Amino acid sequence: MRSKELVKYWRDPDMSDLEIRLSADSRHSFPHHTHDCFTIGVMERGRWLATGPGHGNRSATQGEICLFNPGQVHAGIITKKDARITYRVYFVENEWLQSMAADLRDGNDGLPEFHDMIIQTPYLFQGLMSLNWTIHSGMNRLAKESAMLKAMSGLFINHGGIRKPRTGCEPYAVQRARNYLNENLSERVSLDKVARVAGLSRYHFLRVFKQATGLTPSRYHMQCRVKRAKGLLLAGNPIAEVALDCGFSDQSHFTHRFKQLTAATPAQYLTGS
């Protein structure tokens, strides 16, 4: 039995500048058209013909990425009869990418531009799939924003003419960020806020924090929250109350994250078995 085409859009409340569309087992071809925002297509299965003025006809296949600037005319055509393809498209608002470019270019906030239409760079492909996974796996806002910045900055540094900024260890900036994360365990911390506390651009902050601690800010924050939760549990606080006090959305979320870092559920941690 032939599989049925699936089309689904995702819009995350923490990520207002990003929309994701999944097209699975699709037979749909697009005529020449444009988008007002940056559009990034990730080919997961199959092959289609991507066309556009100035770029000619290019075949995009599994593992490749299609990059389209705002207003760039392009088409996506399935050329093989009865073929089906699966791909994911990321629609990224221009204002967010302009802000990201300013981070990377020390305040130069001109709109960036992709130089290539189809690329095959496995770690950039994986970065986009990791962003998708982070959004759909219930990770916190800091993790989602960090994944988006990592994925998009990688694309523009490698295929948008933006040079990678130099960074140092910045120990005091990292310590300020660590203090802030430790003091705000129950808050939905944003990447913008913690980078401002550190006094660094978002991109610079992510790189030096990982360099100094060995962890991403979101993983460090989660580790601090679980450590705090262990103390509250041992002090006799109810599990449901501890979950809320440490910023988890509910007891199930708390149990899942707690077990990831301790190999035990909160109840097992308390009973020792």
Query: pLDDT tens across 112-133, in order?
Result: 899 989 999 999 999 999 999 9
Rounded Cα distance between 65 and 125, Å, is 7
Sign of the alpha-carbon torsion through 166, 205, 157, 105 = negative
Q: Do domains 6-159 and 171-214 have the same CATH topology?
A: no
Helices (H), the chain: 94-104, 122-136, 141-159, 171-183, 191-198, 202-213, 217-234, 239-245, 251-262, 266-271
At the fourth CATH level, the homologous superfamily of domain 220-271 is: Homeodomain-like (1.10.10.60)
pLDDT, residue 272, reads 73
Is residue 53 within 8 A of residue 107, CB to CB? The reply is no
pLDDT, residue 3, reads 67
Rounded Cα distance between 94 and 99, Å, is 9
**Could you report how far apart the first and last alpha carbons of the chain are, in Å?**
48
What fold does the segment set 6-159 form as a domain? Jelly Rolls (2.60.120)
What's the pLDDT band for 83 if we cut at 50, 70, 90? confident
Output the six-digit token pair for 124.
């950039």
What fold does the segment set 171-214 form as a domain? Arc Repressor Mutant, subunit A (1.10.10)
pLDDT, residue 41, reads 95
Instruction: Using the predicted structure, report yes or no on whether residue 249 has a pLDDT greater than 90.
Output: no
Q: Where are the domains of the chain?
A: 6-159, 171-214, 220-271
Rounded Cα distance between 233 and 220, Å, is 20
Sign of the alpha-carbon torsion through 157, 163, 166, 170 = negative
**Residue in the structure block whose two tokens are 């933006």:** 162
Residue 167 CB-density burial (10 A; 0-12 exposed, 13-18 middle, 19+ buried): middle
pLDDT in tens, 163-220: 776 666 678 899 999 999 999 998 889 999 999 999 999 999 999 999 889 999 999 9
